[in-house]
């Protein structure tokens, strides 16, 4: 699993945010577009792309995109 491709897949879930905003250290919950619908999109993307089942707690406990990447990597 590649961190840069994970960040790209993560950013693809956002329609209105500029790709420049997305780095490993991005605090994704601080993005204006962040919502529960985006969270569901992230869960679906991780399931489809990485065959990993994320739970709501996994997203709630993560702060940055890298935190979430590490959770996905640990479950892969």
- Residue 21 confidence (pLDDT): 86
Question: Which residues of the chain register pLDDT less than 50?
Answer: none
C-alpha distances in angstroms, 38 versus 1, 12, 72? 22, 10, 17
C-alpha distances in angstroms, 49 versus 5, 30, 37, 59? 10, 24, 18, 17
What tens digit of pLDDT does each residue of 25-40 get?
Answer: 999 999 999 999 999 9
Task: Give the start-to-end residue ranges of the domains of the chain.
Answer: 3-12+21-75
pTM of the model: 0.93
Q: What is the largest CA-CA distance in the chain?
A: 30
- Residue 70 confidence (pLDDT): 98
| Superfamily of domain 3-12+21-75 in the CATH hierarchy | ACP-like (1.10.1200.10)
Alpha carbon distance 55, 2 (integer Å): 21
């Amino acid at each position: 699993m590649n961190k840069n491709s994970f960040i790209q897949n993560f950013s693809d879930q956002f329609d209105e945010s500029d790709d420049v905003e997305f780095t490993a250290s991005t605090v994704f919950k601080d993005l204006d577009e962040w919502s529960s619908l985006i969270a569901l999109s992230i869960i679906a993307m991780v399931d489809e792309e990485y065959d990993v089942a994320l739970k709501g707690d996994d997203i709630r406990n993560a702060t940055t995109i890298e935190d979430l990447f590490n959770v996905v990597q640990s479950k892969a």
